[in-house]
Structure 1
Amino acid sequence: MNADHERHERHGRTAHEAPADADRRGRPEQDVRRPEPDGTGPWDEAVLDAVFTQSDVGLHVLDTDLRVVRVNTVAVGVRGIPEEQIVGRPAAEAYAPAGVVVDEHLLRDVLATGRPALDHLVTGRPPVDPRSEHVFSTSAHRLLDRAGHVLGVVVTSTDVTERERAQARLHLLHDAHERIGSSLDVERTAQELVDVTVPRFAGSVVVALTDVVLKGQDPGLQPRDATPLLRCAATGRTEAGPQVPEAGSLLLPGIFGSELPTAASLLPLDGRGASIGTRLVAPLAVRGQILGAVAFQRAEDSEPYGPDDLDLADAIAARTATCLENALRFTREHIVMTALQSWPLHQEQATQRAVDVAQRHRPGGSGAGSWYDIIPLPGARVALVVGQVAYPGLSAVATMSRLRTAVHSLTTLDLDPHELLARLHATTLRLAAEHENAPEGDNPTASCTIAVHDPVSGRLDIARAGTSLFAIVRPDGSADTKPVDDGPLLGAEGPPFACSTQHLPEGSTLCMASPPASGDDGPRPEDLMRALARPERDPEEMADDVERLLSPDRVLLLARTRHLPPGELAEWNIPFDFSAVGTARTHVEERLRQWRHPVDPFTASLVVSELVTNAVRYGAAPITLRLITDHDGLICEVSDAGPAAPHLRHAKAVDEGGRGLLICATLAQNWGVRHTDGGKTVWAQLGADEASTP
């Protein structure tokens, strides 16, 4: 009895004193025993007992040798290992059956320094759930007695498997959005789906696409009861993962079940022994269009798929289907762009007398809207055109095609390059007006450089809208990297456009390229000059060197200038008098005999006499007659100082004149007028088939 009394005195007030104390405070009676200062009271025992028997947090008490001293029921229950197999054994050995690797270095650091280790993640496979890998968040704290002696370390553990799985699913979905769809190729997109999900989501993955999709065609809407033909497009597996079919093999029915799934679902046990829940299939469809399907499979001893995995598979499949649709749209647009952005393969054949050309285009797939043209002009001249429409895409290529058509049409007017750009600017503005109501359409703008070379005089007229690469290298090796200033874009500020005129010796090299894309500064001047060095080289060889410096989607046009040889050109000054018409006819007949030209002399002399008569009657002195032979063709030019351009009219039956240009237009293949600094030139082109005069 005395012993009991002493124990009560040591632990605080007796039970008889507690109610009186409570009454003084006006509180209900409580049988409360306060702990003694040494911490050995009933409260400590109750708290310790509650922590080890009722807490949701696993407790593992280790001594200084890292042997397990005590564990609570939660820790034992989570591991599924009896307590007697844990207590008294080294921690690394005790938890090895659960697949937990104990970081002894970390625990000894806690014992030595007293710094707690917080939220350290460890994984394991408890015997109660060996197919699933669990994740535990552990924290270690050092234990000291009242004297400050180290007793050991206590480790708390909390099962955070669901939290980590949720984060892993979010990370996987984020990676799918980042990595799937990096290219606009359907097969590569399918392979990206495999690369993202193996091994993080499946041991093996099979992606199948319809034949229509693999051919780059529009899949269209499928009836609900229709089963499209699926062909293996991409596969992947781990070393221990299930086997996968060969690429190109037919897969339905079979790996995706008896019919194509309409949503992510689990396949039941099949003939090969795959367990329920280890194979998950999902359709690749967008807006009712069936593009294919994907099958995810895990090993039989792996954790089966759950409801959250079905949602994740649906999201990944939806992302892949969207990327496949984008790839198909690009493929179809690329086919259209390739058709629109096809340049004549032998443009240089009609202009070889004026220039030797080398042309390059390295497509990059973006539809940059770049183009070049080599357009023959009257008088053996040639127009070299390089341009590019801003905002790459199908609309840019369509705009480019329309601008090319406009350039070809405008060149028939024999305009100076800067005047041609002014007309082309008006055309671009009309195209912009059509784009105002187009979805996601920016007003088209374009850069364009036009250079007109005359092989008779060596004159080069240049005009530029926007920026582009333009360099001139003369036969002596001297170079001009900016023969003309930059000008405003077509469809933007508008004229006046930058222009210049130069007279080049024969054998000069013109290097023209479309502007670089945004973020590309283009080749360095020293690299370009190095590629254009030694101008005596063949233009094709020089073009190869320059092309290596250009980024994809740019076009390159390299031209070596020529001058007409004296034997192909004849020129006379004609007196400003009607009596000189006969002299002009004589000059033509004699020169055709010297050239042994197949054009009928009477037809040629008749055309020239009408042109000279027209110049004397309506023009101004001086008058110049020029003949240019072109193998089987003949170009007749009559120049005068009068600014007024003649026009074709149809005379009445009783009129005695007014039929000159009509006769020329009837006899010639083509005719026209071009204005020069000193007046105008009226020309007519005759062919050998005009040998018989009507």
Structure 2
Amino acid sequence: MKGSTRRVGARASLLDGVATAVLDARGTVLCWSREAAELLDRTAGEVCGHPVLRLLVDASEQEWRDQPVGAGVTAAGRALLRHRRGDVVEVVFRVLPLEARAEFLVLAAPVRLVSDGEQGAALLSALLAQDRIGISIHDIDLTVVRTNITPELFGGPALPPGGRLADVMSPQDAEAAEAALRRVLATGVPLVGHEQRMRSPQVPGRQWSFSLSAVRLEDAHGDPMGVAALVTDATAQQRARDHLQLRHEASARIGASLDVTRTAQDLADVLVPALGDLATVDLAEAVLEGDEPMKIPGAGQLHLRRAAVASAAGPWPAALLQVGAAIPRMPDMPVIQHLQRDRAVIIDPTAAADRHPELLRQFFPEHAHSVLAASLFARGLRLGGVVLWRTDRPEAFDEQDADLLVEIASRAALSVDNARRYTREHRAAVALQQRLLPRATTDTPAAQTVGAYRPAGGGAEISGDWFDVIPLPSLRTALVVGDVIGHGLHATATMGRLRTAVQTLADLELGPEELLAHLDDLVARLAAETDPGHRDTVGATCLYAVYDPITRHCTLASAGHPPPVLVRPDGTTQLIDISPGPPLGVGGLPFETTTLTLDPDSVLALYPDGLLHRHDHDPDVGLRHLADRLAAHCRPGRALDKIGSALLIDAADPAPRDDIALLLARTRALPPDATPAWEFPADPAVVADAREAATRQLADWGLAEAAFTTELVVSELVTNAIRYAGGPIGLRLIRDTTVLVCEVTDSSNTQPRLRRARTTDEGGRGLFLVAQLTARWGSRYGPSGKTIWAEQSILPA
């Protein structure tokens, strides 16, 4: 090395920088080492044979003169030496006499090198002496060379010199820690703040979390010679972080659903495996139904049912009580009393099993060594309880775990109670809506119908969807489907009012377009009665259709409602082309009718838009999907209820966000011989002809027992038509298996009225007699004139 002093860094060994020289008794340099030559940039030839005093500076030279080196004298201290360039080099020296020779060995090293070594030794001694930070120095094989880790440091096993991490740590933890240290040895990149878990077979049931930092140790040439590791106990901090994370996850996941069992399952899933290895949530049976739980103190029959379970190891053990099972009668135990006081309880399973061995099989998992239980209390109600077990995790539950479970259980109980209250309200609303809906199936001479209703899923409120099948006179049938704007009870109440209005208007035998016009006025009045801020939310859509099995004509009109889908007997589908009017409540625009002829065994599907908006909110996509599903399910001879069930199953995935109502009608047609008709002039003499024609037809049908009533009805209706309306007079009989209808048509628009005749009156008793002898009677208007009809029941042939 040329130039001034050799640069000595942290990598250098202390001995590598020591300069040596041999002096005689007079201080003459006899030998000069390579390190000495590098220190002062002076060769041995330049120094040997000359007094060493020539190398000293000022005061140091005077000091050597005052204290000459002699036999038996040992000197040590600091000195200032001259460098070839004139620089001053401060050294620490020591003079050692050589045995049996009048010569002296002088050792000198730069002050900085000595200070670094002293400071390093002092630092290492200080680190090894303290009792807060664990220090371990490992050689390149990771064998421990020096350490201060004793049982008193972290409460765990000691790490003796000559040992390895595997001697005190579990195989998995030791492998992870040594892998981290080997990376430091291989790369030289320091390891800082590595989270290291430690479990020790010497201290079963205990687990530590350490913060591990490590640096590589190198020799003067930069070659690795070991690794120094520093560890601090971060168990408390890690546990605090874990608990904080668990609180955050619980607040984010629990309560996202308004389903009671889903909320209970979320609670169990949050707790496993974060706090325990297995968990159960038991709820009061009343809570699952939406009602308030019974207040039953003490043990006995608790009226609880297992609502949710979770297991970190996989499926729930078959030997334990399963989801949905009722909690059996419990003996009187202190733990039951504690739980009923809104307290968390840490249970020793061995003690419980010794007192009540029958409980061990149903309630305690195999290898469970610690149990933690807490009640679900909310708004003064005990809704149930949650229980945690530890089987694989070695540490037992402590008070911190109990406090955390109480906190999470308290929040979860509010979510369970919210879901319970929603379940109660939703159940009441659904029950109200279902009570307002008609029977699911009807069977009339005009059509066989099946209606289906499915409330919205995913926690959404019910809406005002409805359907209806209204038998009309002369064996006709009205089909109705509607959808009220909005959700909740107000929509259900509005739906009930509209359905009642439709039934009332249908009894007037109005045409579909006229019925919707009256219904539109009603919705406008309902909106006017509503608070001004909510008037825009009052409205509905409706489709009204009338099917006549005699003519096979279906006349329908729409108020903003989706068009029906027709499935022909050959399986082909058709979207009915209608001109929809505005939704009900808009007003100011007319409604148009569409009439089509249906073949027998055709299936007409009526539905609200909730069935269409499931498909990316695109009605066209929804219509195509519905038509495809109808074509697939409407096979010849397949029952309508099975078709409806299949369509609802398709609609249930994913769970709909809106109610779904579906009305399927399979049409029928009466044969021509079941509807004979005659026409007579307005002559009183034809009354006898009309009676004779009716009697003859009844005889042909084998209904002679109905001849007396029918003759009377025909006589009275034809006579009134001749007297008050004029000709021509039409007479038609309509026969079904259980109903016989008599219709008389005239050209008058006068409304017939039933009145009570006085004893002195010669007339006015005809319609009264008709009303008494028949099941029902009425009249309807046509394009020209009116039709009076009367129905009577007949026994099947």
What TM-score do the two structures reach when normalised by structure 1? Answer: 0.77
Question: Given that residues 347 and 375 in structure 1 are in contact (C-alpha distance below 8 angstroms), is that contact kept between their aligned partners in structure 2?
Answer: no
Instruction: Name the CA shift for 1:120/1:441 in 2 (closer, same or farther; >3 Å).
Output: farther
Alignment match, 2:375? 283
Within 5 A, what are the aligned runs for 1:459-538?
A: 459-468=553-562, 470-475=564-569, 478-485=572-579, 488-490=582-584, 496-497=590-591, 499-516=593-610, 520-521=614-615, 522=622, 524=625, 527-528=628-629, 530-531=631-632
C-alpha displacement of 1:272: 1.1
Partner letter of residue 233 of structure 2? Answer: D
Structure 2 residue matching 1:639: 3-state secondary structure? strand
SS at match of 2:508: coil
**C-alpha distance in structure 2 between counterparts of 1:325 and 1:449, whole Å:** 40
Amino acid at match of 1:286: A
Question: What is the CA–CA distance in structure 2 between the aligned matches of 1:258 and 1:73, rounded to whole Å?
Answer: 46
Distance 1:480 1:679, change over 3 A: farther
The answer on 1:162 being equivalent to 2:259 is no
Residue 104 and residue 582 in structure 1: after superposition, are their counterparts in 2 closer, same or farther (change >3 A)?
A: same
Q: Determine whether 1:410 maps to 2:502.
A: no
- Contact kept? 2:151, 2:158, Cα under 8 Å: no
What is the aligned partner in structure 2 of residue 65 from structure 1? Answer: 141
The one-letter code sitting in structure 1 at the alignment partner of 2:788 is: V
Matched, 1:171 2:245: yes
Pairing 1:341–2:341 present? no
Partner of 1:451: 545
**Equivalent of 1:568 in 668, 674, 677:** 674
User: Are the structure 2 counterparts of residues 441 and 550 from structure 1 closer, same or farther at C-alpha, using a change threshold of 3 Å?
Assistant: farther
- Structure 1 residues 589, 60: closer, same or farther in 2, change over 3 A? same
DSSP 3-state at the match of 2:545? strand
Structure 2 CA distance for partners of 1:391 and 1:144, relative to 1, 3 Å: farther
Pick from 314, 328, 333 the counterpart of residue 254 of structure 1. 333
Which structure 2 residue ranges, 5 or more long, are not aligned? 1-66, 68-74, 82-87, 93-109, 355-368, 616-621
SS of equivalent to 1:139: strand
Quick check: 2:289–2:420 contact (8 Å CA) kept in 1? no
Distance 1:621 1:473, change over 3 A: farther
Residue equivalent to 1:264: 343
Say which SS state the counterpart of residue 3 (structure 1) adopts. strand
- 1:393-432 equivalences under 5 Å are 399-425=494-520
Q: In the aligned structure 2, how far is the partner of 1:44 from the partner of 1:527?
A: 84
Amino acid at match of 1:272: A
| Structure 1 residue aligned with 2:154 | 78
Q: Which moved more, 1:535-544 or 1:408-417?
A: 535-544
> Please, what is the CA RMSD of the aligned residues?
4.9
Query: Which range moved further: 469-478 or 648-657?
Result: 648-657
Q: Is the 8 A contact 1:627 1:636 kept in 2?
A: yes
1:626 is aligned to 732
Identify the residue that residue 25 of structure 1 maps to in structure 2. none
What secondary structure sits across from 1:348 in the alignment?
strand
Give 1:24's aligned residue: none
- Residues 369-406 of structure 1: CA deviation (Å, up to 9, x unaligned): 55433321101101123345565656655554554444
Q: What is the alpha-carbon distance in structure 2 between the residues aligned to residue 631 and residue 666 of structure 1?
A: 22
Larger Rg: 2
Residues 75, 157 of structure 1: 8 Å contact kept: no
How far apart are 1:628 and its partner, in Å? Answer: 1.5
Q: How far 1:531 sits from its partner (Å)?
A: 1.6
Residues 524 and 587 of structure 2 are in contact (CA less than 8 Å); yes or no, is this contact kept in structure 1? no
Q: Residues of 2 paired with 1:430 and 1:141: CA distance? A: 84
Q: Retained in 2: the 8 A contact 1:573–1:625?
A: yes
Deviation at 1:471, TM superposition (A): 1.4
- Give the Cα–Cα distance (whole angstroms) in 2 for the partners of residues 680 and 622 of structure 1: 12
Q: 2:76 — aligned with what?
A: 3
Q: What is the CA-CA distance between 1:429 and the residue it aligns to? A: 5.9
Cα deviations by residue, 1:319-369 (Å, 9 ceiling, x for unpaired): 4433443554455456543575266658533x1x21234555567777565
Q: 1:543 to 1:263 in 2, by over 3 A?
A: closer
1:316 paired residue among 408, 420, 439: 408
- Read off the aligned partner of 2:628 and give its amino acid letter: D
Alpha-carbon offset, residue 453 of structure 1: 0.5
- Residue 564 of structure 2 aligns to a residue in which SS? strand
User: Per-residue deviation at 1:112?
Assistant: 2.9
Shift of residue 133 of structure 1? 1.7
Partners of 1:474 and 1:507 within 8 A in 2: yes
Letter in 2 for 1:303: E
Give SS of 2:779's match. strand
CA distance 1:488–1:176, shift in 2 (3 Å): farther
Whether the 8 Å contact between 1:621 and 1:640 is mirrored in structure 2 is yes
Asked if structure 1 preserves the Cα contact closer than 8 Å seen for 2:79 and 2:91, the reply is: no
Quick check: 1:376 aligned with 2:482? no
The separation in 2 between residues aligned to 1:177 and 1:232, in whole angstroms, is 25
* CA spacing shift, 1:38–1:637, aligned 2, 3 Å: farther
CA-CA distance at 1:485 after TM superposition: 5.0
| Cα distance in 1 for residues equivalent to 2:589 and 2:401 | 62
Q: What is the CA–CA distance in structure 1 between the aligned matches of 2:612 and 2:139, rounded to whole Å?
A: 67
**Deviates further, 379-388 or 334-343:** 334-343
On the 8 A contact 2:485/2:537 being kept in 1, the answer is no
SS of corresponding position for 2:735: strand
State which of 553, 559, 564 in structure 1 corresponds to 2:665.
Answer: 559
1:373 counterpart letter in structure 2 = D
SS in 1 for 2:504: helix
Question: Within 2, Cα distance between the matches of 1:548 and 1:266?
Answer: 45
Equivalent residue letter for 1:233:
R
**1:313 Cα offset (Å):** 1.3
Q: Is the 8 A contact 1:216 1:328 kept in 2?
A: yes
Decide whether aligned partners of structure 1 residues 70 and 449 sit closer, same or farther in structure 2, where only a CA change above 3 A counts.
Answer: farther
Distance 1:6 1:430, change over 3 A: farther
CA distance in 2, matches of 1:468, 1:564: 29
Name the SS for the 2:77 alignment partner.
Answer: helix
AA matched with 1:412: D
Q: Summarize deviations over 1:114-140 as a string: whole Å, max 9, x none.
A: 334444321114799754322123233
Q: Distance in 2 between matches of 1:446 and 1:536?
A: 35
Which of 643-652 and 413-422 deviates more?
Answer: 643-652
Alpha carbons of 1:622 and 1:135: their partners in 2 closer, same or farther (altered >3 Å)? farther
Q: In 2, distance between residues paired with 1:191 and 1:470?
A: 41
In percent, how many aligned pairs have the same letter?
37
Residue 459 of structure 1 and its aligned partner are, at CA, apart by 1.1
Code of the residue aligned with 2:383 in structure 1: it is: L
Equivalent pairs counted in the alignment come to 661
Q: CA deviation at 1:664?
A: 4.3
TM-score (normalised: structure 2):
0.68
Q: Flag the 1:140–1:47 CA change in 2: closer, same or farther, 3 A.
A: closer
Mapped partners of 1:300, 1:96: distance in 2: 15
Offset of 1:314 from its aligned partner?
A: 1.7
Q: Please give the secondary structure, in 2, of the residue aligned with 1:564.
A: coil
Give the CA deviation at 1:441: 13
